Amino acid sequence: MSRLFFFIQEAFRALRRNAAPSMAAIVTTVVTVVLLGVLIPIFQTAQSKSEEVRDSLEFRVAVYDDATQAEVSALRGELEAIPHVASVEFITKAKALAELEDDLGKEKSEDLLTQLRDNPLPRNFAVKADDAANLEAVRAAVTPPGANGKPQPISPIIPAEDPTFDRREDAQKIEQVTSALKIVLTVITALLIVASLMLVGNTIRLSIYTRRREVEVMRLVGATRWFIRWPFMIEGVVVGFAGGLMAILTLWLGKITIIDPLGNTISFLAAQNNSTLSFPALAAILFGAAVLVSAIGSGVTLRRFLKV
């Protein structure tokens, strides 16, 4: 126990004697943890939003107006039985018209409805796939090849000339954008983590390099490697603790002063509250990582100076 107190005293003594490199290491840790604390929730929110958009993609299966209720129910069962179908919803003519009004806006829809004597929109089923990548496979299953090799609807109440319809171009664009967004954010997060580890490691290395003569003298007088290493590792723990604590306080202040007040008006910010990784869990992970990286970085960096 007395040796542990000695190591702690030596670590704090070294921090006071080498205030500038130690402060640089703390500041580097703060900046790194804050950047990760900002980027990780953004990545999670963007990913959840992209998944939400992907999950909302659907196509419609038109139904003849004279189809009976039994035929409609039978078609629903056939659609639900198709692999990778997540949900099937029946859209009445009235609901289809209401959707058109929402898409066009109030003024345009009023101008259009004044020129229409009746509702020309067909009844239809809104079919959603379990994943956006399976949407085209589900669509193909609705109109499989017939005996003549041409696509034929799976039910006679589906119009053969135009069995399915949707905003296919919009769906493809959304699929491309969300996929690209996920790749870009993953690459940025990985690069930032690697750069953060290198930055913290180099800062700790610079701090130890300024004291290399002290380490060499201790080795020459017979001190063991772990006897020399422990004060440096404790110093790394202190640096990581101080930097991580300051970063978490900064993130917490940003959350209560910016994120929470604007969450009611900006949906993107509000989505962070529903993230799978809560703020306390994120803070604990970042704090633990800061302490661990600083301690390990101190021990590993010191290894080259112990070879005397």
Sign of the CA dihedral 297, 303, 304, 306? positive
Percent share of the chain, pLDDT over 70: 66
Asked if the model's pLDDT at residue 234 lies above 70, the reply is yes
Q: What 8-state DSSP symbol labels residue 305?
A: G
- pTM above the 0.75 mark? no
**Averaged pLDDT for residues 270-283:** 70
| Residue-level pLDDT at 299 | 66
Asked if the model's pLDDT at residue 151 lies above 70, the reply is yes
Asked if the model's pLDDT at residue 267 lies above 60, the reply is no
At 246, the pLDDT band (50, 70, 90 cuts) reads very high
Asked if the model's pLDDT at residue 74 lies above 70, the reply is yes
Asked if the model's pLDDT at residue 16 lies above 80, the reply is no
Residue labelled with tokens 């790194």: 32
131-135, 194-198, 279-283: least confidently modelled range = 194-198
**Averaged pLDDT for residues 120-134:** 83
Asked if the model's pLDDT at residue 42 lies above 70, the reply is yes
Asked if the model's pLDDT at residue 247 lies above 80, the reply is yes
pLDDT tens, position by position, 113-126: 566 667 777 888 98
Residue 5 contacts by C-beta under 8 Å, 6 or more apart in sequence? none
Which residue has better confidence, 128 or 51?
128
Domains of the chain and any CATH numbers: 2-52+175-306 (no CATH), 65-158 (3.30.70.3040)
At 305, the pLDDT band (50, 70, 90 cuts) reads low
Asked if the model's pLDDT at residue 173 lies above 70, the reply is no
Q: What is the DSSP string of 84-141?
A: TEEEEEEE-HHHHHHHHHHHH-HHHHHHHHHH-SS--PPEEEEEEESSGGGHHHHHHH
Asked if the model's pLDDT at residue 174 lies above 60, the reply is no
